Amino acid sequence: MGFPQDATLGDAGEFGLIAELVALFPQGEQVLVGPGDDAAVLRVRHGHVVVSTDLLVEGNHFRLDWSSAEDIGHRAAAQNLSDINAMGGRASSLTIGLAAPADLPARWALDFARGFAAECSLVGASVVGGDLTRSDKVVIAVTVLGSVTEAPVLRSGARPGDTLALCGRQGWAAGGLAVLGRGFRSPKVLVDAYKRPEPPYDAGRTAAEAGATAMIDVSDGLLADAGHIASASGVAIDVHAAAFDVAEPLQAVGAALGADPMQFILGGGEDHPLLATFPDALAVPPGWLRIGTVSEGSGVTVDGAEYDGPTGWTHF
């Protein structure tokens, strides 16, 4: 580093630190102009671009005492890459805005960038630009660009008779978050699932190729996100609770906290699995779990009845 190990962001200065950060981000062959100019220039295939943006705010989406900088980098990248996955797309390029206190260690920003870059490398995407500025709390703004080869899979295409299916871990991160909220650090598998979600990055394109009619990534909560599909598509969705295996660590946390572990599965929104509808049960690709049915009507039920547990995240 061009500054002392214990330098703060304020010490390291914007320009010196940016050079160190940029060096952590390898540039893919699609990048014609990378970080350092007024804008990046990217080569685009297929004549279109898929774009999504997300904010992560300290104390709201993450806590500096619960997650390492590298964990937060992984999570910030993962939740954005997941949005492209949910369109049936392939992520190619990202920008990062980082606002942080001047007394935050410069090392924190570098570790954050390392985690972010590592997560992006899982899908071969590049960080092509960003902004670094001062604020009282850490705020991370990520925008991701990608492409789709099939038609994008929207939230609005579910039809009565479709089968609802899920791909990826669900409820583990919510279990981990509940554990952290009570001051515990185990079961470690759940805490780790919260710190570094593992979205099924190939599943979105597979689902698109298999004819998925609607798709979303679970970020607000399984039932809440099923509700987004239901309202966008003008259909009713019934989730079948018996479809889920309640993993042993979730059972353990439920018992320890005196909670029904199904609330993590039905209400949790931090794992970023994919939720999709398929025209029939046989179209559901391997690796996906059939968890419900689509019918005429509106709203989301569990086993035919309204669910009375926590159903997910509200942003205000």
Numbered residues of the known binding site for ATP: 130-131, 155, 219
Query: Among 99, 118, 243, 246, which residue sits at the site for its own copies (rule: CB under 8 A)?
Result: 99
Q: Give the three-class secondary structure for 79.
A: helix
Q: Does 53 bind its own copies (CB under 8 A)?
A: yes
Residue span 104-133 as binding mask against its own copies, x where in contact by CB under 8 A, dash where not: ------------------------xxxxxx
Give the span between the Cα atoms of 238 and 236, in whole angstroms: 7
Give the span between the Cα atoms of 254 and 130, in whole angstroms: 41
Other beta carbons within 10 angstroms of residue 154's beta carbon come to: 18
CA atoms within 13 A on the CB side of 165: 27
Q: Does 102 bind its own copies (CB under 8 A)?
A: yes
**DSSP β-ladder status, 139-147 and 214-217:** unpaired
Query: Among 20, 27, 54, 252, which residue sits at the site for its own copies (rule: CB under 8 A)?
Result: 54
Q: Give the three-class secondary structure for 301.
A: strand
Rounded to the nearest angstrom, the gap between the alpha carbon of residue 215 and the centroid of all alpha carbons in its chain is 14
Which 55-84 residues touch its own copies, going by CB under 8 A? 55, 57, 59-61, 83-84
Kindly state the smallest distance separating residue 188's Cβ from its own copies, in Å.
29
Instruction: Give the tokens for residue 187.
Output: 């079961």
Q: Does 145 bind its own copies (CB under 8 A)?
A: yes
Kindly state the smallest distance separating residue 94's Cβ from its own copies, in Å.
9
Q: Does 302 bind its own copies (CB under 8 A)?
A: no
Give the span between the Cα atoms of 246 and 262, in whole angstroms: 7
Which 164-203 residues touch its own copies, going by CB under 8 A? none
From the list 153-161, 180-188, 192-200, 262-270, the region that binds its own copies by CB under 8 A is: 153-161
Query: Among 49, 236, 246, 259, which residue sits at the site for its own copies (rule: CB under 8 A)?
Result: 49
